[in-house]
Structure 1
Amino acid sequence: MLTEDELALLEAIHESGSLSRAAVRLGKAPSTVSHAARQLEAKFDALLFDRRRYRLQLTPAGQLLTQEAGRLMQDVARMTRRVKQVAGGWEDRLWIVTDEVLEFETLLPVIQSFDKLDSGVSLRVTHEVLGGTWEALRDGRADVVVGATNEPPAIPKLQWIELGVMDWVFAVAPRHPLAKAAEPLERETVVRHRSVVVADSSRRPESRGYGLLGGQAVLAVPSMRAKIMAQREGLGVGWLPRQRVAGLLASGALVEKRMADPREPNTLYVAWRSDHMGRALTWWLEQFKQPRLAKRLVQGLGWPA
Structure 2
Amino acid sequence: MLSQDELALLDAIRTTGSLSRAAAALGKAPSTISHAARQLETRYDALLFDRRRYRLQLTPAGVLLAEEAQRLMADMTRLNTRVKQVASGWEDRLTIVTDELLELASFFPLIADFDKLASGVGLRFTHEVLGGTWEALREGRADLVIGATNEPPAIPGLRWFELGRLDWVFAMSPRHPLARAEEPLSRDLVRAHRAVVVADTSRGASARSYGVQGGQAQLAVPGMAEKVRAQVEGLGVGWLPRHRVSGLIARGELVEKRTADPREPNTLYVAWRGDHAGRALTWWTERLQQPRLAKRVVDGVPIA
Structure 2 vs 1, CA of residues 251 and 63 (structure 1 numbering), >3 Å: closer, same or farther? Answer: closer
Q: Deviations over 1:111-145 (max 9, x none)?
A: 22222222221111000000000000000110000
Q: Report the Cα distance in structure 2 between the residues aligned to 1:45 and 1:302, rounded to whole angstroms.
A: 65
- Greater alpha carbon shift after TM alignment, 246-255 vs 17-26: 246-255
> Are positions 1:274 and 2:274 aligned together?
yes
Q: Which residue of 2 aligns with 1:214?
A: 214
TM-aligned CA distance change 1:251 to 1:62, over 3 Å? closer
Q: CA RMSD in A?
A: 1.3
Amino acid at match of 1:115: D
Equivalent residue, structure 2, for 1:192 = 192
* 1:180 CA drift (Å): 2.2
Output the amino acid matched with 1:61: A
Equivalent residue, structure 2, for 1:4:
4
User: What's the TM-score, normalizing by structure 2?
Assistant: 0.96
CA distance in 1, matches of 2:70, 2:303: 50
Structure 1 counterpart of 2:29: 29
CA distance in 2, matches of 1:229, 1:19: 66
Matching residue's letter, 1:202: S
Alignment check: 8 A CA contact 2:131 2:206 kept = no
Three-state SS of the structure 2 residue aligned to 1:78 is helix
One-letter amino acid of the counterpart of residue 244, structure 2? R
The yes-or-no answer on 1:176 pairing with 2:176 is: yes
Instruction: Check if 1:136 corresponds to 2:148.
Output: no
Q: TM-score, with normalisation over the residues of structure 1?
A: 0.96
The 5 Å alignment of 1:13-92 reads: 13-92=13-92
Deviations along 1:127-182, one digit per CA (max 9) or x if unpaired, are: 00000000000001100001000000000100011110001111122222212222
In structure 1, the residue matched to 2:227 is: 227
- 2:150 maps to amino acid: N
Q: Which residue matches 1:253?
A: 253
* d(CA) in 1 for partners of 2:45, 2:221: 63
Q: CA deviation at 1:193?
A: 0.8
SS in 1 for 2:7: helix
Q: Percent identity?
A: 71
Between the two proteins, the alignment pairs up a number of residues equal to 304
**CA drift at 1:273:** 0.4
Q: In structure 1, what is the equivalent of residue 95 of structure 2?
A: 95
Stretches (4+) displaced over 6 A:
none
How far apart are residue 52 of structure 1 and its match? 2.2
Q: Is the 8 A contact 2:167 2:266 kept in 1?
A: yes
Q: Which amino acid aligns with 2:32?
A: T
- Give the 3 Å change call, closer, same or farther, for CA 21–204 of structure 1 in structure 2: same
Q: 1:111 corresponds to which residue? A: 111
Cα distance, 1:222 vs structure 2: 1.3
